Amino acid sequence: MFHTCSICLDETLIPVELTVFPCGQNQERNCYSFKRLCESCVKSFLELDKKLKQRATFKKCLFCNTCINPQEIVNKPYKKDFLLMSMDTRILKCRECDFTANHLELEKHLEKNCPKKLTECFCNIIDTRENIESVSHRKVCCFFKQCLICQEYIYCNDFEKHLSFEHKMFHCQLCQKPTMTPLDLHIQEECSLRVVNCKHCPKKLIANVYLDHLVEHIHDSKLRLSLIDDLKVKEMDMFHRLSTEVQKMYELTYGDPIQE
Pick from 42, 62, 88: which residue ends a domain?
Answer: 88
Do 170 and 177 meet the contact criterion of CB atoms below 8 Å apart?
no
Q: Are residues 212 and 243 in the same domain?
A: yes
Work out the percent of the chain whose per-residue pLDDT is above 70. 97
Q: Are residues 84 and 49 in the same domain?
A: yes
In a domain, 112, yes or no: no
Amino acid at 12: T
In a domain, 20, yes or no: yes
The answer on pLDDT for 53 being more than 90 is: no
| Total structural domains within the chain | 3
Q: Are residues 78 and 19 in the same domain?
A: yes
Q: Are residues 36 and 78 in the same domain?
A: yes
Least confident interval from 51-60, 78-87, 136-145, 188-197: 188-197
252 or 117, higher pLDDT: 117
Q: How many helices (H) and strands (E) does the chain have?
A: 8, 15
The pLDDT value given to residue 26: 65
Q: Are residues 161 and 225 in the same domain?
A: no
pLDDT tens digit sequence for 100-153: 999 999 999 999 999 998 888 888 888 899 999 999 999 999 999 888 888 889
In a domain, 52, yes or no: yes
In a domain, 109, yes or no: no
pLDDT tens digit sequence for 199-250: 889 999 888 888 889 899 999 999 999 999 899 999 999 989 888 888 888 7
The pLDDT value given to residue 27: 63
In a domain, 78, yes or no: yes
Closest-CA residue to 111 (of 136, 85, 137): 85
Q: Are residues 26 and 84 in the same domain?
A: yes
Cβ-based neighbour number of residue 146 at 10 Å: 14
Owning domain of residue 84: 15-88
Work out the percent of the chain whose per-residue pLDDT is above 90. 40
CA distance 127 to 43: 14
In a domain, 174, yes or no: yes
In a domain, 119, yes or no: no
In which band, very low, low, confident or very high, does the pLDDT at 67 lie, cut at 50, 70 and 90?
A: very high
In a domain, 1, yes or no: no
The pLDDT value given to residue 103: 94
Chain-centroid distance, C-alpha 206: 24
Beta strand extents in 97-245 (DSSP E only): 100-101, 118-120, 126-128, 144-146, 153-155, 170-171, 178-179, 195-197, 204-206
